[in-house]
Structure 1
């Protein structure tokens, strides 16, 4: 009974998440039209796009790219990747997809050492800060091409131009390090937000679950929270547990939903809710 109840909550939130996804995606499309007409990209919607793009790149899909020096088109595909994070570049390993923990890390949003860098953007102008490339140099090839991909929505793909290198203050550099000139090759990579498959991945299910550690066993179902279940009244909760969630052990046999921030416990696994900052990016009634 409790499992059925939790599943109903899960499905209700999933439906709401998909509706919200369509609303946010439409707002992103409108903003991209503004960008193409000389307007400014919305940083909140840009963060939403970045989260989707990371997951799609790690999924093993094939993407259209073109070389920004010649506009010659190719296809690009990574092998399917797990999510990895780094705080120090020396922690990274070759042929694994890493994202910096620091959201303000300059120049890139992901690295696939020793020869591939990614920068997600919803802007037509995005300078590459040399300080970030210099921080990464020790993990990159000493000779040969290093591919730098600007990962953009499909609407910007054909209009994307080669970008400038910049100083730490985002001023166009007049003295670019020789290794950067010789080795860094700029490409643009197309993310189609309008395809059926990508729409499925753009749901809040995808963007939230990629931040949650997978908790499952061969014999137990995996259920993950899609949002804080803060609208449930005490009367609505078919629970027999009345313990403080902070005292709930890591392993329990029953399902447990704590109102607001707390613990969601299913199949003997506990999952701590993220704060609203982790689950939502909100501005002008846009919440992811």
Structure 2
């Protein structure tokens, strides 16, 4: 029998490294419609005056019907009649609030169309380029509950379209887009609770987090995302990167092992003692306690070692001597 020479121990010099692991999925961003408002004018659309997703305030013109502008104003009651001197009601109060917001009326809205309101209407009409009558015809105003608001005109509001009262005209959008991921049950198994997510589109990346789960189609679950700090995913960049025309597909990376940098060692060099503590052995034979900060692909980032320390790779040494 021939004696084999003892295998030389395999050593490793600790160097700075980084580990990270994630799974790529698809995500969707969409500005959801929170309210709808209907048109009250009759005629032909002759102009579209706001871009999709624009933020509008009280008194802004949205579109033209027979060359007459339709203005947005704050209120829950639609304009169901012409408004003129002597009228009383919530719709009058809403008109007065518009005139107050635009600086034409200084008195507190009362809901009664008096001489001060008529004078304010005339001044507003004169400034808006419409015929000065002191009467607000039905269809001149489109009321939505809260302003300012981000809006998108309905598909029926296009130049040349014929409009009649009751047609859907304006979609009021949420303050920020909703980000979601829809995963199969098998994909969901790989996603940790409250997982961190990187969402990317157009060369821009945002940090997000899984906020909640919602049941979807059979075998699917929708993950709702929020910003990494609890706010909007896209923050101040939503307008630039997320269109308001409909759902937009993005790339989403679910972070399973967060990006971690530091002293990196092969996982095979890490052993545990009788008390469950972890250590590596340096080339002098000393056991050096370590804490594993992150690991992936056979490599681990640890705390407790300095860059340049030489350690033994017991797993590799055993494999060679076997």
TM-score, shorter chain, exceeding 0.5:
no
Q: TM-score, normalised by structure 2?
A: 0.25
User: In proportion to residue count, which structure has more helix?
Assistant: 1
Query: Larger relative CO (CA 8 A, sep 6+): 1 or 2?
Result: 2
